[in-house]
Amino acid sequence: MPGFEHFGDAERKEVNDVLETGVLMRYGFDAMRNGHWKAKQLEHDLQEYFQVNHAQLVSSGTAAVSVALAVAGVGAGDEVIMPTFTFVASFEAVMMLGAIPVLVDIDDTLTLDPQAVEAAITTKTKAIMPVHMCGSMANLDALEQICKEHNLLLIEDACQAIGATYKGKTLGSIGDVGCFSFDFVKTITCGEGGAVLTNNEAYFKNADHFSDHGHDHVGNDRGAEGHPFLGYNFRISELNAAVGVAQLRRLPEFLEIQKQHFTILREALSTIPEITFRRVPEGGEENYSFLSFFLPDTETSLKVAAALKEAGMDGCFQYYNNNWHYIRKWEHLKELKTLYPLSQEVKEGLSYLQTKTFEQSDHYVGRNISCLIKLSWTEQEAKERASKMVQVIKEVLG
C-alpha cells in the first residue's frame, strides 16, 4: 500500500486509451469513444472480483459513503452509529445528508465494539456503519445480528480494507451496501474515486441515478433522459476510472506483496513480550496494508512512536493525538464549526459530544501503533526495517 508505488505501463496504457479519444466524461459521446468505456469496465470488473451484483463508481470514498446512505434512505434526523476511530470523511458523509453520526467505542479489533453499538441504539437509529480501519474488519456476524434484531441497515465503510475477507466474503460485499475509496494512498488507486457495492437492485438503481444529478440513463439521448428524483454530481471521470481498471487487475499481486512484508515485520515484533497485536475477528483475513500492535500503555506507545520517527521509520502512526482519525482532536465537529447553518435536529443530536468520554477507545487507540506496509520495499528492506523497529522499541522499553 499504496497502489501508486507500482504505477506503470499498464496504467498508462488505459489512460492513453482515454486521451486518444478525448472523451473524459463517463457518460455520452458514444461515437467518439472508439469503444472505450473505462468506468463501465471498472464497474464490471469490481462486480466480478468482489462477487456482487452491482457496483457504481463515484468521485471519492467520501461520496461513496454519502451515496450508500442516501440510496438506502438515510437522511434528516436519522442516527448512524459509527466508530470513534475512523477518518473524518465518515462523519462528514453522514452529516451531508442531514443525518446524525453517533460515535461509539472501539474494541481490540480497532473497529466497532458490538456491545457499545447495542447500547447506542435509539428509536432514531437507522444504520450501523462499521469502518474497517487499517486493513482489518469489525465483527460482522455480531453487527449483522444486531441489525437483524433492530431492523437496521448495515453500511460497510471498507475504504481502508479493500481485498480483506470475512468468512470467505470480501469486505464491502457483506452489508446492505459497501463502500470503497480509490484515492491516491489506498491499496489500489484511481487518483481520486470510490465505489458503492450492493446486491440490492433498488439501491443500485438509486445509486446510478443519484450520483448523476438524478439522470435515469434511459435511452441514447442524455439531454432527453428523465429525472425520477433529485440527485447530485458524484461522477468519476474516465481518466480516473482508467487508472482503476489497471490497478484492480493488480490487486492480487499487491495483496501478496503486502502479506509478505507484513509477515516479516510481525514475526520480528512478536519477539518482544510487551507487544500484542490487534485482534482479527475469527474467520477474517486482513489485507495486510497495516501492521497494528499494542504497547503496554499510552505513554510508552507515544515514546515508541516518537523514537521510530526519529530513527527514520516513516509510516508508523500513533493516532491518539491525530487530527484526522480519532475523536480526541475533532474540535471542529464537537464545536460544530461549519460554513452554513445546521438543522436543529443535528445540533441537538450532536450535543452529546460536549460531555461524552470514550475511555475504552482511549485505552486501545492510546496504546496502538499502526505501521504502513509498503509495496515498494524489497524483501531485504523489509527485513532491515523489521530489525531496526525491534531495536528501537527495545531501547524505549529498556
So where are the chain's domains? 3-250, 252-397
64 pLDDT above the threshold of 80: yes
Average pLDDT score over residue span 52-64: 98
102 pLDDT above the threshold of 80: yes
Please report which confidence band the pLDDT of residue 338 belongs to, taking 50, 70 and 90 as the band edges.
Answer: very high
* pLDDT tens figures, 240-292: 999 999 999 999 999 999 999 999 999 999 999 999 999 999 999 999 999 99
Please report which confidence band the pLDDT of residue 219 belongs to, taking 50, 70 and 90 as the band edges.
Answer: very high
* pLDDT tens figures, 148-206: 999 999 999 999 999 999 999 999 999 999 999 999 999 999 999 999 999 999 999 99
Contacts of 296 (CB under 8 A, 6+ apart): 274, 367
Average pLDDT score over residue span 208-216: 98
Rounded distance between C-alpha atoms, residue 102 and residue 121, angstroms: 9
Yes or no: domain 252-397 corresponds to CATH 3.30.1360.10: no
Cβ atoms of 320 and 302 within 8 Å: the answer is yes
Rounded distance between C-alpha atoms, residue 179 and residue 153, angstroms: 14
Architecture of domain 3-250: 3-Layer(aba) Sandwich (3.40)
Phi then psi dihedrals of residue 151, to 5 deg: 55, 55
Cell digits for 173? 460485499
Contacts of 90 (CB under 8 A, 6+ apart): 65, 82, 101, 129, 131, 157
pLDDT, mean over the chain: 97
1 pLDDT above the threshold of 80: no
Q: Which amino acid is at 175?
A: G
- pTM score, two decimals? 0.97
Q: Is 186 assigned a catalytic role?
A: yes
Average pLDDT score over residue span 341-367: 97
Please pick, among 38, 186, 205, 347, the residue that the annotation labels catalytic.
Answer: 186
C-alpha pair distances (Å), 44 with each of 207, 233, 305: 15, 21, 42
pLDDT score of 195 = 98
Average pLDDT score over residue span 303-312: 97
pLDDT score of 2 = 79
Which residue carries 482479527 as its cell? 280
pLDDT score of 353 = 97
Rounded distance between C-alpha atoms, residue 162 and residue 332, angstroms: 29
pLDDT score of 109 = 98
To the nearest 10°, report the CA torsion of 103, 105, 107, 112. -30
C-alpha pair distances (Å), 74 with each of 69, 181, 211, 214, 333: 5, 20, 15, 17, 20
